[in-house]
Amino acid sequence: MANAFLFFLLLIFSSNIIFENIHACNQSEHSSLLFLSLTLSSPQLNWTSADCCNWEGITCNRDGWVTHLQLPSKGLKLKGGIFHTSSLANLTHLTHLNLSHNSLSGSLDQTEFFLSLNYLEILDLSYNLLLGVLPSSLSSIHIRIVDLSSNRLHGAVPSSFFQQAWNLTSFNVSNNTFSGPIPSSICRPSSSLRHLDFSFNNFNGSISSGLGKCSKLQVFRAGHNYLSGSLPEDMFNSTTLEEISLPLNSFYGSMSDGIANLANLTTLDLSYNQLSSVLPLHLGKLSKLKYILLDFNYLEGSLPLSLMNCTNLVELRMGSNNLGGDISMLNFSKLSQLSKLDLRKNNFFGILPRSIYSCKFLKAIRVSYNNLEVQIQPEILSLKSLSFLSLGWNKGLTNVKGAMKILMGCKRLLLLSLASGFLGEEMPNDVEMADFNGFQNLRLLDLSSCNLSGIIPSWLSKLKKLQVLDLNHNRITGSIPSWLGTLPRLQMLIMHFNQLSGEFPKELCTLPMLVSGRTAAHDQVGLNSYGLPTFFSPNANAKPLQYNYIFYNQFIYLGHNCLSGNIPIEIGQLQLLQRLDLSANNFSGNIPDQISNLKYIEILDLSMNYLSGEIPASFTSLNFLSSLNVSYNNLGGPIPSSTQLQSFNASAFEGNLKLCGAPLPNKCRTTTRADAPDMSTQDVDTKEHQIPWSYVSVALGFITGFCGVCGPLVLMTKWRYAYYHFLDNVQDKFHVMIAKRMASMKRRFV
Ligand SMILES: *[C@@H]1O[C@H](CO)[C@@H](O)[C@H](O)[C@H]1NC(C)=O
Ligand SMILES: *[C@@H]1O[C@H](CO)[C@@H](O)[C@H](O)[C@H]1NC(C)=O
Ligand SMILES: *[C@@H]1O[C@H](CO)[C@@H](O)[C@H](O)[C@H]1NC(C)=O
Ligand SMILES: *[C@@H]1O[C@H](CO)[C@@H](O)[C@H](O)[C@H]1NC(C)=O
Ligand SMILES: *[C@@H]1O[C@H](CO)[C@@H](O)[C@H](O)[C@H]1NC(C)=O
Ligand SMILES: *[C@@H]1O[C@H](CO)[C@@H](O)[C@H](O)[C@H]1NC(C)=O
Ligand SMILES: *[C@@H]1O[C@H](CO)[C@@H](O)[C@H](O)[C@H]1NC(C)=O
Ligand SMILES: *[C@@H]1O[C@H](CO)[C@@H](O)[C@H](O)[C@H]1NC(C)=O
Ligand SMILES: *[C@@H]1O[C@H](CO)[C@@H](O)[C@H](O)[C@H]1NC(C)=O
Ligand SMILES: *[C@@H]1O[C@H](CO)[C@@H](O)[C@H](O)[C@H]1NC(C)=O
Ligand SMILES: *[C@@H]1O[C@H](CO)[C@@H](O)[C@H](O)[C@H]1NC(C)=O
Ligand SMILES: *[C@@H]1O[C@H](CO)[C@@H](O)[C@H](O)[C@H]1NC(C)=O
């Protein structure tokens, strides 16, 4: 019995020995790996068994050399943030190294492993926190895939890096901070490169010729950089290309007809550049095209008829160009896959052809800002997926009641913008809309600049998912209904320039999204997945960001109406409010101290009312305030002193005879408060008054408002409301200087 047991044990041992003999991890490899694991702070790798060839993520060859080290997404972190590459460098037989999606930090500078791993075929260090610059060359002649994307690497990508990389098929350095030129010498005769990705970096200069030599290139991406010059013409010699993505650069000049060579092209993304030619006549020959993204350029001429032969088209984005022509010439009926059509802001004219309704998968239609004749026709109901419809700022849109009755059948609609249509009609009233039961999913309703009369109808209260209600520049009368305060998701109420009267309803101060943001951000719809891209410049010098969440802001704009009474103290409950405009109304009484509870307020405009009393001292605690206007009221006393309030122009306070202290030039004579400013110097810098706002309003194409009868001094100060117009007539080119200056107020959704 005991003997049998011993024999059994022996058997196990010897089989283990045999096993080890086969796989036997070379001792030096074993210690290199152990050293590597010691440099990791977390997590503990289960690298305990005797044979390192059995360890997780490790594969050896028959001779016991480690060939694969693959530990993606293991949460790996380095102790002290230092990449001890010597342990890697000693694994000289590595062919596959995949440490992607970890938190490896430290610098790649002077790391030997680029130089000593002579058998490396696959290198994937993407999605880590690696710093440093690339070495001048990669020593392995076997290298096939290099993925260093989504790290923090910088410096140039030297041409010599690829010197011996004859078999390189994929090179991805996207999403780092590399700079300098795109190394187009990466392409050599008989190059096997298929995928090149330089996007999301700081590459600059023009792309020199050379890409044409990549005779197998399928994907070329270099978007979101600072590239300029003309498009590299010889790129069109790479007839294997399936994707060209160069958005958000400064390429200028023409797009040549050579592109018609690229018969396999499915994606052409040159959006946000400065291309200014006509479209290549034979673009439509590229019958495999799925995505044509050419928006935000200066392209001219008409759409080539051949485009309507691209039966695989999924997205056609031509918005914000100088294109034109009679759109009724186009026959959309072959574009059976079309999902997004964007022709916004061009010079197209003619009737939107009915053939568009045969594109059954259309999700987004944006043709606003053209000279089209648009009508809402019942056929639109055949577009079952339609979620984004923007037709505003065209011609001929009439019959708002009929339009609403048809559109309420579009069950998926998320965004509806019909701005500047239905001129002078009446807002459909509750009797007319008695059977209204639509818009269950609508997030944004824009009926601005329609000059609609009537009152705010209560059928709108059924729009339970509404986040943005934009009715600015109409002639809407009556009071602000209290039910607006119950819309569970409303966060932008935009109704300036109307004729609303009555008080500011206290109920509005309970708007859930402004009180507590109960419906949290993650619940919001990223319109990009349903609609069309929106871009946003956080400040003048930053690259524009793609604005994923359009409903990011909390605004109440009620300026230029006929509202009266006090500003309710309950307003302090709207803690998340970022912008409040009550200007040019008839509000009276004091400015409630509770406004200081609006701790996120950025823009506060109470100008041109009959407010009296002092500016609450608590205003000094509004840390986010970047624009304040209390001018032309009956305010008095000292302006509370804080670095912020004194940093505004005097014009923010002018027109209040009894107000004193900096930044106003008149000093407070008899100070009633200890903290009142001491105005011993006579004159405040008068240059402050000479901001060239008239220039700003011209640049913005400002249109004078109508409801001048209520608020005092409307004409005198119209320039100050230039920014409102951003809501109607959003600037196109993010790089237009003025747009940048006002970028913080910029929204782009139609
Ligand atoms: C292990 O590697 C060393 C070099 O690091 C080499 O000299 C030795 O021959 C290898 N052993 C085996 C069994 O392959
Ligand atoms: C560690 O790996 C060995 C096999 O290599 C396995 O038997 C053991 O369960 C693992 N331990 C843990 C904690 O995963
Ligand atoms: C790597 O190899 C060198 C020399 O072959 C040796 O000095 C060094 O200790 C090794 N490093 C590790 C971590 O094993
Ligand atoms: C690295 O591993 C990840 C996760 O398994 C995988 O998705 C990726 O394709 C690998 N990289 C390469 C270059 O094979
Ligand atoms: C390059 O790839 C080819 C075909 O896959 C192969 O035969 C050749 O050995 C590779 N060359 C190198 C240096 O790895
Ligand atoms: C390059 O890597 C990024 C992730 O960092 C990925 O999104 C992109 O698709 C890759 N490019 C190519 C051409 O595969
Ligand atoms: C860029 O890298 C960061 C950090 O790894 C990552 O969060 C982000 O998703 C990446 N962006 C793209 C476009 O791949
Ligand atoms: C690229 O950027 C660098 C650093 O900002 C600058 O020195 C260089 O002149 C730029 N090159 C071109 C061609 O614009
Ligand atoms: C593109 O190819 C054509 C003929 O195939 C050749 O004449 C031309 O020189 C090439 N262009 C470039 C820029 O390489
Ligand atoms: C185009 O794609 C087809 C199918 O994927 C392929 O057979 C053909 O070789 C490609 N043509 C070129 C020029 O790459
Ligand atoms: C569209 O394709 C058809 C058939 O392939 C062809 O006859 C017609 O000329 C093409 N139209 C245009 C405008 O290219
Ligand atoms: C559009 O083309 C289809 C066939 O593709 C044809 O049946 C239809 O009559 C055309 N419509 C117009 C208005 O030309």
Instruction: Give the span between the Cα atoms of 575 and 573, in whole angstroms.
Output: 5
Choose one of 311, 352, 355, 357 to mutate for the ligand 12 pocket test, by most ligand atoms within 8 angstroms of C-beta: 355
Q: Where are the domains of the chain?
A: 508-671, 694-744
pLDDT score, position 82: 63
Q: Minimal CA–CA distance to 316: which of 330, 326, 329, 328?
A: 330
> In this predicted model, what pLDDT tens digit does every residue of 467-494 receive, in sequence order?
889 999 999 999 999 999 999 888 889 9
pLDDT tens figures, 199-242: 999 999 999 888 888 999 999 999 999 999 999 988 999 999 99
Which range scores top for mean pLDDT: 364-368, 698-702, 726-730, 731-735? 364-368
Ligand 1 mean position, distance from CA 27 (Å): 7
Write the CA distances from 9 to 19, 24, 54, integer angstroms: 15, 21, 22
336 CA → ligand 11 middle, Å: 16
Mean pLDDT of all residues in 633-654: 90
Candidates 20, 22, 28: which one to mutate for ligand 1, based on the most atoms within 8 Å of Cβ? 28
pLDDT for the residue numbered 517? 63
- Arithmetic mean of pLDDT, 180-192: 86
For 444, 552, 598, 728, 747, the CA distances from 579, given in Å and listed in that order, are: 18, 12, 9, 17, 13
pLDDT at 28 over 60: yes
What confidence score (pLDDT) does residue 403 get?
94
Closest ligand to Cα 20: 1
Query: Ligand 2 mean position to 270 CA, how many Å?
Result: 51
Q: Which residues pair with 581 in a beta bridge?
A: 557, 605
DSSP string, 396-422: ----HHHHHHHHTT-TT--EEE-TT-S
pLDDT of residue 584: 94
CA of 227 to the centre of ligand 4 (A): 30
State whether residue 742 is helix, strand or coil: coil
Ligand 9 atom at minimal distance to the Cα of residue 234: 13
Q: Which ligand is nearest to the CA of 222?
A: 6
Ligand 5 centroid, distance to 202 Cα (angstroms): 33
pLDDT band, residue 434 (cuts 50/70/90): confident
Q: In this predicted model, which residue has the larger pLDDT, 468 or 84?
A: 468
- pLDDT single digits (tens) 604-619: 999 999 999 999 999 8
59 is written with which tokens? 């594969």
- Using the mean position of ligand 5's atoms as its centre, give its distance from the Cα of residue 245 in Å: 29
Ligand 1: which atom is nearest the Cα of residue 63? 14
Largest CA distance in the chain: 111
Structure tokens at 243: 């994707």
CA distance 226 to 250: 7
For atom 7 of ligand 11, the residue with the nearest CA is 309
The Cα 534–Cα 94 span in angstroms is 45
| Ligand 5 mutation pick, 121, 142, 191, max ligand atoms within 8 A of CB | 142
Q: Is the CB of 261 under 6 A from ligand 9?
A: no
Rounded mean pLDDT of 433-451?
Answer: 89
| Domain covering 508-671 in this structure, CATH number | 3.80.10.10
- The protein residue with its alpha carbon nearest to ligand 8, atom 4, reads 180
The contacts of residue 658 (CB under 8 Å, 6+ apart) are 634, 635, 636, 637
Alpha carbons 286 and 572: distance in angstroms, whole number: 59
Distance 53 CA to ligand 2 centre (A): 14
* Confidence category of residue 638, pLDDT binned at 50, 70, 90: very high
Q: Is the pLDDT of residue 738 over 60?
A: no
Q: What is the pLDDT of residues 262-320, one digit of tens each?
A: 999 999 999 999 999 999 999 999 999 999 999 999 999 999 999 999 999 999 999 99
Burial of 717 (0-12, 13-18, 19+ CB in 10 A): buried
How many whole angstroms separate alpha carbon 394 and alpha carbon 683? 51
Distant-in-sequence, close-in-space partners of 679: CB < 8 Å, separation ≥ 6: 660, 661, 662, 666, 667, 668
User: Does the beta carbon of 92 sit less than 6 angstroms from any atom of ligand 9?
Assistant: no
The residue contributing the CA closest to ligand 12 atom 1 is 331
- Compute, in angstroms, the gap from residue 162 CA to the centroid of ligand 9: 23
Q: What is the pTM of this model?
A: 0.83
Ligand nearest to the Cα of 261, by number: 10
- DSSP reduced 3-state for 338: coil
